[in-house]
A = this chain, B = another copy of it.
């Protein structure tokens, strides 16, 4: 990876702590990867020039990451690496929102994540292929209350690539679960995005230090190309 987005936030003391604890070695790629695309939905990336009407849009940062996500998904589909697409959807009557409804207003908008609205749709740039599965989740992690884990075991996956958004919320929760289940977990940093720059950078730092490899999209694409035909 050329640049580490978090370096500017660390001081000499922090580097000494990392050295002493011998953190941040490389997990490395395994031999059977899958790509998990988290919440690549319209409500997450909004609309150019109109983001003020998309209350949870990550704006230009989201749309830029989406181009990188497309590259990852295209190469994965070409190499017959399975892709799993989550979408986050809530019922408009609030029946399934749980305690999250206490932190956020349940927004009455077609541009948010309500089931059946345009906001909840997968972005049109991404389409599940013949080896892929899309499913709804109700919580940050792509594993929580979903069939994802069994899909990965069934396909003998050992390496989980996580892309989408937001870095500090759904990406991070998915990465926690993936590495806790002992999958090698890979985060290509240009293919994840967040509303808040410092949250994005520090979540990448925390994940790379303890339970995932943060890599460049270029390095990930090289690896996925090597998987072709295996």
Contact = CB atoms under 8 A, between A and B. Distances in A.
Copies in the complex: 4
Interface in A166-217: 168-169, 172-173, 176-177, 179-185, 195-199, 202-203, 205-206, 209-211
Closest CB pairs A-B (n = 10): A145-B147, A98-B182, A154-B182, A139-B180, A202-B202, A27-B102, A22-B105, A98-B154, A150-B182, A153-B182
A74 to B, nearest CB: 20
Task: Specify which of A146, A148, A177 lies most central, judged by the most chain B CB atoms within 10 Å of its CB.
Answer: A177
A137 to B, nearest CB: 8
Given A17-B196, A138-B150, A206-B203, A176 B176 contact: yes
Nearest to A51: B20
A24 B186 CA distance: 29
Interface string A120-148: 00000000001101000011110011111
Nearest to A168: B206
